[in-house]
């Protein structure tokens, strides 16, 4: 039998009870947005895929959507960002190694991307909606973690440029297209799958690569396919553990494009040295570096002096991926904001039922739908490059869309963060990452002004591109008075070429809006199309999100956009 408690024992047990007293129950918080299907819970994505690639294997997309939305994969995204890559110049014995060490979660995300062909599928099995399907998968995967998508994109985008030098393509293409990931720091000759990067930007000029000072010296014979040594520097080289890079350098005949492996064929390290990693505000799971080329061995791709036209096809593909990536960032922001507001109440009712919040959420959702509709339409154009209209459309729609969609993203991310309130600012929420990622796509691969100037260049060199763009947009003519007026005015404004560079942003903004409105009117949800025309084509002065006019079916737009979890 236990002895009776003493007075002092009783006092201390009372105290413990007080310390252990339940302080509160956690209520009015949403369930975690995880273990949901990024395809099946995204009506706009499903509709866009069916529209642009009616034969798409939706089971496959659904399976990928389940994987991307699993708690385990979402967790990889957080870990890859909490554990930034480390850079080691030398091993402990003093040998130069130039090795960037990534967290296992980064490698796991890369493995998922490459095993699912996000870098290869449209080249390995072209046509029949291949770009559309790949874009849809990339759209889902990049929502989980955007930074590692940079090397995925560069590997994907390199193929059209590498193919310009068939003997190099025969050495590299099958390994670039292999659906597997080999991150080992060993010569590419020991690998059956490789990744590719690009090195154009130098300190004195990024947009203006004509100022590149890196020099290329022929080792023996000169010209396409021949071996050169490169001496100089590069100011930005992302994913520096790639197996080879497309590099711009000055040959005697002018700026030329080269393929430079990280290892020489004899198994020795190619002398290009990483100086340091960039200390970036966002995109931190991906390493970006500054490098010096100290006689690095490389082979010329394409004609001497034609470096920009040779690498431009790679650049065009990376710009397309910027559109997918920024549209994806918007989608994840909308998913987070609508999910939160569906489960959170204030002042007696759910946030998603309150009129002012409905205006903001619906506005964010339709921005995302318009971005997605535009992006997947360009994907279809890429799938049909044998048709003249699609070729011309892709040429103009790429800089217009890269400019517009990427530029619309930062404020969108910030507004979505605000919908979540204070918890949206915390690092255990994905919103800070989406926000820090949001300006990147707008700046790299040709910043905003450069896209606008490229749009003008395309129109000047090939006026048919503008005809194709307007022909496509005009397919919605007659369906909405506001659209007809907007398009007519825009066409008139292109007739005036005075100060056209100064006016370029205004013109490109409106090209993008006209195409987005046209796509939504022709194919989109009625409430979304109506709200888009009312708010984007007929502004009444409001500049921020939450300016949809009365009469908008905001509840219907939000319902479409909200993932149903918990």
Ligand X SMILES: Cc1cc2nc3c(=O)[nH]c(=O)nc-3n(C[C@H](O)[C@H](O)[C@H](O)COP(=O)(O)OP(=O)(O)OC[C@H]3O[C@@H](n4cnc5c(N)ncnc54)[C@H](O)[C@@H]3O)c2cc1C
Query: Count of CB atoms within 10 A of residue 225's CB?
Result: 14
Count of residues engaged in binding ligand X, rule: CB under 6 A:
25
- Candidate residues 205, 271, 305, 432; the one interacting with ligand X per rule CB under 6 A: 205
Nearest residue to ligand X, scored by beta-carbon proximity: 206
518: which strand partners?
A: none
Query: Which residues, 285 to 314, sit near ligand X by CB under 6 A?
Result: 288
Query: Is 238 a binder of ligand X (CB under 6 A)?
Result: yes
238/200 Cα distance (integer angstroms): 11
Query: Is 280 a binder of ligand X (CB under 6 A)?
Result: yes
Query: Is 444 a binder of ligand X (CB under 6 A)?
Result: yes
- Candidate residues 440, 520, 528, 554; the one interacting with ligand X per rule CB under 6 A: 440
Q: Which is nearer to ligand X, 302 or 399 (CB)?
A: 399
Least distance CB 427 / ligand X (angstroms): 20
Query: Is 185 a binder of ligand X (CB under 6 A)?
Result: no
Least distance CB 389 / ligand X (angstroms): 30
Q: Which is nearer to ligand X, 361 or 440 (CB)?
A: 440
Q: Which is nearer to ligand X, 283 or 336 (CB)?
A: 283
From the list 123-131, 137-145, 233-241, 294-302, the region that binds ligand X by CB under 6 A is 233-241
For residues 523 to 562, the per-residue mask of contacts with ligand X, x marking binding by CB under 6 A and - elsewhere, is ----------------------------------------
- Candidate residues 201, 359, 368, 409; the one interacting with ligand X per rule CB under 6 A: 201
Q: Which is nearer to ligand X, 199 or 366 (CB)?
A: 199
DSSP-assigned letter for residue 33: S
- State phi, psi for 217 to the nearest 5 degrees: -110, 125
Structure token digits, residue 197: 């990067």
Q: Which is nearer to ligand X, 456 or 556 (CB)?
A: 456
Query: Is 198 a binder of ligand X (CB under 6 A)?
Result: yes
- Candidate residues 35, 97, 124, 236; the one interacting with ligand X per rule CB under 6 A: 236
From the list 84-92, 234-242, 256-264, 483-491, the region that binds ligand X by CB under 6 A is 234-242
Least distance CB 409 / ligand X (angstroms): 14
Chain centroid to CA 249: how far? 27
From the list 43-51, 161-169, 419-427, 442-450, the region that binds ligand X by CB under 6 A is 442-450
Least distance CB 382 / ligand X (angstroms): 22
Structure token digits, residue 420: 């979540």
Give per-residue burial for 339-368: e unless 16+ CB within 10 Å, then b.
Answer: bbbbbbeeeeeebbebeebbbbbbbbbbbb
Task: Count H helices and E strands in the chain, helices first.
Answer: 20, 11
Strand ranges (DSSP E) for 141-287?
196-199, 215-218, 227-238, 244-251, 254-261, 272-277
The set of residues, in sequence order, having a beta carbon less than 8 Å from that of 20 and lying 6+ positions away, is: none
Least distance CB 439 / ligand X (angstroms): 9
Q: What share of the chain is helix, strand, coil (3-state, %, to 5)?
A: 55, 15, 30
117/156 Cα distance (integer angstroms): 9
Query: Which residues, 445 to 464, sit near ligand X by CB under 6 A?
Result: 445-450, 453
- Candidate residues 199, 287, 337, 459; the one interacting with ligand X per rule CB under 6 A: 199
Query: Is 443 a binder of ligand X (CB under 6 A)?
Result: yes
Strand ranges (DSSP E) for 224-323?
227-238, 244-251, 254-261, 272-277, 288-301
Q: What is the DSSP string of 352-406?
A: GGSHHHHHHHHHHHHHHHHHHHHHHHHHHHHHTTTSHHHHHHHHHHHHHHHHHHH
Query: Is 404 a binder of ligand X (CB under 6 A)?
Result: no
Q: Which is nearer to ligand X, 165 or 288 (CB)?
A: 288
Query: Count of CB atoms within 10 A of residue 308's CB?
Result: 18
Q: Which is nearer to ligand X, 16 or 279 (CB)?
A: 279
Cβ contact 30:342 at 8 Å: yes
Calculate ∠ Cα 273-436-321, nearest 5°.
70
Q: Which is nearer to ligand X, 314 or 517 (CB)?
A: 314
Cβ contact 340:420 at 8 Å: yes
Q: Which is nearer to ligand X, 440 or 473 (CB)?
A: 440
Q: Which is nearer to ligand X, 36 or 320 (CB)?
A: 320
- Candidate residues 187, 206, 224, 524; the one interacting with ligand X per rule CB under 6 A: 206
From 472, 382, 392, select the one nearest 128 (Cα to Cα): 382
Q: Which is nearer to ligand X, 448 or 546 (CB)?
A: 448
- Candidate residues 44, 118, 136, 200; the one interacting with ligand X per rule CB under 6 A: 200
The residue length of the chain stands at 566
Three-state secondary-structure class, residue 41 = coil
215: which strand partners?
A: 231, 250
Query: Is 143 a binder of ligand X (CB under 6 A)?
Result: no
Least distance CB 239 / ligand X (angstroms): 7
- State phi, psi for 292 to the nearest 5 degrees: -120, 135
Q: For strand 86-90 and strand 96-101, is the pairing parallel, antiparallel, or unpaired?
A: antiparallel
Q: Which is nearer to ligand X, 48 or 247 (CB)?
A: 247
Residue 415 C-beta-side C-alpha neighbours within 13 Å: 25
Least distance CB 518 / ligand X (angstroms): 27
Structure token digits, residue 468: 């194709």
Query: Is 520 a binder of ligand X (CB under 6 A)?
Result: no
Positions in the binding site for ligand X (CB under 6 A) = 197-201, 205-208, 236-238, 280, 283, 288, 440, 443-450, 453
């Amino acid at each position: 039998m236990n002895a009776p408690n003493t007075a002092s024992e009783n006092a201390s047990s009372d105290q413990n009870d007080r310390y252990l007293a339940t302080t509160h129950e956690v209520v009015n918080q949403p369930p975690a947005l995880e273990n949901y299907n990024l395809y099946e819970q995204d009506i706009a994505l499903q509709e866009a895929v069916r529209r642009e690639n009616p034969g798409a294997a939706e089971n496959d997309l659904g399976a990928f959507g389940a994987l991307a939305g699993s708690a385990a994969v979402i967790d990889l995204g957080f870990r890859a960002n909490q554990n930034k890559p480390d850079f080691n110049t030398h091993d402990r014995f003093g040998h130069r190694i130039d090795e960037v060490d990534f967290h296992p979660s980064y490698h796991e995300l890369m493995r998922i991307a490459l095993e699912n062909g996000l870098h290869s599928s449209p080249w390995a099995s072209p046509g029949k909606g291949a770009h559309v399907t790949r874009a849809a998968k990339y759209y889902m995967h990049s929502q989980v973690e955007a930074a590692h998508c940079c090397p995925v994109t560069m590997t994907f985008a390199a193929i059209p440029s590498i193919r310009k030098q068939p003997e190099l393509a025969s050495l590299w293409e099958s390994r670039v297209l292999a659906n597997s990931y080999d991150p080992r720091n060993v010569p590419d000759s020991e690998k059956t799958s490789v990744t590719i990067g690009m090195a154009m930007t130098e300190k004195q000029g990024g947009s203006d690569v004509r100022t590149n000072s890196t020099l290329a010296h022929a080792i023996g014979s000169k010209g396409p396919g021949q071996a050169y040594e490169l001496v100089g520097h590069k100011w930005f080289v992302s994913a520096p553990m790639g197996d080879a890079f497309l590099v711009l350098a000055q040959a005697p005949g002018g700026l030329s494009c080269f393929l430079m492996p990280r290892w020489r064929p004899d198994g020795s390290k190619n002398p290009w040295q990483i100086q340091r990693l960039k200390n970036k505000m966002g995109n931190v799971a991906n390493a970006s570096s500054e490098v010096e080329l100290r006689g690095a061995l490389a082979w010329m791709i394409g004609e001497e002096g034609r470096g920009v036209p040779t690498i431009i096809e790679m650049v065009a593909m990376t710009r397309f991926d910027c559109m997918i990536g920024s549209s994806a960032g918007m989608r994840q922001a909308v998913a987070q904001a609508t999910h939160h507001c569906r489960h959170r109440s204030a002042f007696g009712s759910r946030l998603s039922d309150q009129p002012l919040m409905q205006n903001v959420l619906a506005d964010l959702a339709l921005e995302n739908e318009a971005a997605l509709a535009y992006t997947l339409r360009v994907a279809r154009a890429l799938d049909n490059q044998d048709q003249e209209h699609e070729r011309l459309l892709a040429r103009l729609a790429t800089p217009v869309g890269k400019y517009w969609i990427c530029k619309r993203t930062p404020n969108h991310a910030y507004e979505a963060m605000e919908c979540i309130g204070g918890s949206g600012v915390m690092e255990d929420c994905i919103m800070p990452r989406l926000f820090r990622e949001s300006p990147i796509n707008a700046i790299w691969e040709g910043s905003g002004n450069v896209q606008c100037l490229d749009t003008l260049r395309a129109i000047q060199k090939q006026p048919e591109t503008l005809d194709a763009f307007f022909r496509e947009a005009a397919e919605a003519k007659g369906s909405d008075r506001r659209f007809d007026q907007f398009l007519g005015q825009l066409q008139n404004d292109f007739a005036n070429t005075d100060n056209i560079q100064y006016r370029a942003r205004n013109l490109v903004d409106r090209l993008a809006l006209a195409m987005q409105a046209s796509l939504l009117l022709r194919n989109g949800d009625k409430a979304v199309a109506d709200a888009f025309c009312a708010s984007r084509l007929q502004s009444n002065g409001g500049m921020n999100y939450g300016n949809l006019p009365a009469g908008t079916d905001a509840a219907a737009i939000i319902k479409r956009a909200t993932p149903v979890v918990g």
